[in-house]
Amino acid sequence: MSKKVLTVGEILVEIVATTKGDGFLEPQPLVGPFPSGAPAIFIDQIGRLGTPAAIISRVGDDDFGRLNLDRLIADGVDVSGIEVARGEATGSAFVRYRPDGSRAFVYNIAHSATGNLTLTPDAEALMESCDHVHVMGTALSAPGLSQVAREAVARITARGGTLSFDPNLRPEILDTPGLREALDEVLAQTNLFLPSGEEIYLFTEADDEAAAVKELLDRGVGDIVIKRGNQGASHFNRAGRTDVAPLSTDEVDPTGAGDCFGGAFVSFWLAGASPETALRFANAAGANAVTKVGPMEGAATRDELDALLGQSEG
Amino acid sequence: MSKKVLTVGEILVEIVATTKGDGFLEPQPLVGPFPSGAPAIFIDQIGRLGTPAAIISRVGDDDFGRLNLDRLIADGVDVSGIEVARGEATGSAFVRYRPDGSRAFVYNIAHSATGNLTLTPDAEALMESCDHVHVMGTALSAPGLSQVAREAVARITARGGTLSFDPNLRPEILDTPGLREALDEVLAQTNLFLPSGEEIYLFTEADDEAAAVKELLDRGVGDIVIKRGNQGASHFNRAGRTDVAPLSTDEVDPTGAGDCFGGAFVSFWLAGASPETALRFANAAGANAVTKVGPMEGAATRDELDALLGQSEG
């Protein structure tokens, strides 16, 4: 039977500015709400690939919460661990791309429904039914989310389950009190580590990539995947290194691509695929994601990934 | 010297759907953020007319708070009573018009920065410098806002200042615990009452308009203005009744029109204008407001009102 993947973390809507520029100091054309939240995008990609998947989170009893629930349910994700909080608002992120490709955000997360997550009986029951847990660094930056995420890690690993970890940290949250300790605690139990680019150095003394990878493998991380955005990706374990070249795409909106990459990699890795196979499909999932406006809109089905890979490999 | 007007209440951004329909269950074109919040729109209209004006409120330290501060400052409003709350999010309202003209909302107010208002030394100082206080019913529906609003009423009326009151109540908030008592307390001290349409019956036993008006005048309300949207408006006091016919306009977005009407009426009323004059200018302010997308965008200057009245009466 397929292993079931659990994640804990924020569910948001995302509103995207349709012009480039710096921030939201004047009225401008927008498009949204899109279902969002890095853990939600990750788990939606898992669900679309047909791998059993669940998320523990919290939304308001408003259209923005409903929109996310509807999407996750449609893609096969178990939403029994999502609490609908009466009278609270679903979290939101407004994003605008600057001309240089960087992003300006206005967030409502910490004081939204998702920021007030606590451990519920439904969430506890869900932890008992899952075989793998995936942690995003963003989920460790708010006290309630962090506590529940670490509880999920403790319970699932105690039962022999596995743990994957994507730091996914925006620089502005690295100073959050307690975050560093939580990250270290999670890394110490990580089987599969999925940093983006420079994040490989977050937990190492080494400052070149090969040495950083060796340091992490020596500390017991079994598999490491470095996501390099439009430069492809690399997998490392004791058996060696595997690289995959980027697929050429018409990039429309890079938000969510790393989460879709991660979801696809975890799906194939858990199913026992070789690093090369898992990396190829993950790479295709990331490439597919950037072609759609909206962070979760580009989560791909197996058929879509097969088509994309068949086409690029002729 | 001109009397200075104070209001207490919510500051928000508003995001407007550009297509008609019911709610926000799928991504759609939007425009925003617009500065908003009924008390903020009211006080901005007062400021634009050159009447001394101030607001006590609370915003997040984000672009949405900055947008509102910038607008209010530009229109001459004293913002010393607006607290900028670090790490909190500015309130928001998403609005979509249904084909029948009614509106669907998604709010983040109660748990936003503005919902956590408390009495600050700056707010207390401001209360000492103002001669008139205006209360919106919406500000009485959240505990923090309500406490500060009632404190402003107590202090300003104790010093001989005057009070205007616009119930401005959406049906869904009428059941809020304590709201009814707060409304009754404010009405008992009201000099100028500004209900919209059916709101005239909120505090009366009478169920026809003339009897309801008499009941309120008998209870000590000096002036009553019934706002009838695109049907004009009527003023009542002991001396009699004055009506004003609607101005014909190309309605684009009615949100905020009642607040602009109220702001203009209070400005002229405080300056000692006759009911007829105050009503004509208020009517023009409401008519101007509906011609612009965005709740605060249609707040008018004196020149704009003169032009509108000259044209319609020319």
Say which CATH number the domain at B170 has. 3.40.1190.20
Chosen for mutation from B28, B61, B111, B296 (greatest number of chain A CBs closer than 10 Å) is B111
Taking an 8 Å cut-off on Cβ atoms, the answer to whether A31 and B32 are in contact is no
Percentage of residues of chain A with pLDDT beyond 90: 84
Element (H, E) at B67: helix B63-74
Q: Is A177 on the interface with B (CB under 8 A)?
A: no
Overall average pLDDT of the A59-80 stretch: 98
Q: Which amino acid is at A63?
A: D
Overall average pLDDT of the A241-259 stretch: 91
Distance CA A230, CA A283 (A): 9
Overall average pLDDT of the B60-82 stretch: 98
Taking an 8 Å cut-off on Cβ atoms, the answer to whether B67 and A24 are in contact is yes
Q: How big is the CA angle at A162 (ends A159 and A165), to the nearest 5 degrees?
A: 135
CA–CA min distance A105, chain B (Å): 9
> What ipTM describes this predicted complex?
0.90
pLDDT of residue B277: 97
Question: Scanning the structure block, which residue is given the tokens 């799906």?
Answer: A267
Residue of B31, B92, B94 with shortest CB distance to A29: B31
Percentage of residues of chain B with pLDDT beyond 70: 98
Q: Which amino acid is at B96?
A: R
Model confidence at A314, pLDDT cuts 50, 70, 90, reads very low
Q: What is the pLDDT of residues B107-156, one digit of tens each?
A: 999 999 999 999 999 999 999 999 999 999 989 988 889 999 999 999 99
Distance CA A285, CA A280 (A): 9
Overall average pLDDT of the B187-197 stretch: 96
Q: Are B104 and B95 in contact (CB under 8 A)?
A: yes
Which residues neighbour B277 within 8 Å (Cβ) at sequence distance 6 or greater?
Answer: B268
> Is the residue at B308 inside a domain?
no
Taking an 8 Å cut-off on Cβ atoms, the answer to whether A63 and B23 are in contact is yes
Overall average pLDDT of the A209-218 stretch: 96
Domain span at residue A105?
5-313
Overall average pLDDT of the A110-122 stretch: 95
Q: Please say if the pLDDT value at position B174 is more than 80.
A: no
Taking an 8 Å cut-off on Cβ atoms, the answer to whether B24 and A294 are in contact is no
Percentage of residues of chain B with pLDDT beyond 90: 84
Q: Is A105 on the interface with B (CB under 8 A)?
A: no
Overall average pLDDT of the B204-211 stretch: 94
Q: Mean pLDDT in chain A?
A: 94
Residue of A nearest to B19 (CA): A31
CA A23 to chain centroid, in Å, comes to 24
pLDDT of residue B209: 96
Q: What is the pLDDT of residues B88-109, one digit of tens each?
A: 999 999 999 999 988 999 999 9
pLDDT of residue B221: 97
Taking an 8 Å cut-off on Cβ atoms, the answer to whether B25 and A63 are in contact is yes
- Residue B39's nearest CA partner among B77, B80, B67 is B77
Overall average pLDDT of the A290-309 stretch: 94
pLDDT of residue B314: 44
Model confidence at B177, pLDDT cuts 50, 70, 90, reads confident
Answer with the residue of higher pLDDT: A171 or A159. Answer: A159
Overall average pLDDT of the A287-313 stretch: 91
Q: What is the pLDDT of residues B271-295, one digit of tens each?
A: 999 999 999 999 999 999 999 989 9
CA–CA min distance A103, chain B (Å): 14
Percentage of residues of chain A with pLDDT beyond 70: 98
> For chain A, what is the domain count?
1
pLDDT of residue A313: 56
pLDDT of residue B313: 55
Taking an 8 Å cut-off on Cβ atoms, the answer to whether A63 and B24 are in contact is yes
Taking an 8 Å cut-off on Cβ atoms, the answer to whether A111 and B92 are in contact is no
CA–CA min distance B101, chain A (Å): 19
> Is the residue at B314 inside a domain?
no
Residues of B in contact with A31 (CB under 8 A): 27-30
Q: Please say if the pLDDT value at position A55 is more than 90.
A: yes
Q: Where are the beta strands (DSSP E) in chain B?
A: 5-8, 12-17, 28-36, 53-60, 82-85, 91-97, 103-108, 132-136, 162-166, 192-193, 223-227, 233-237, 240-244
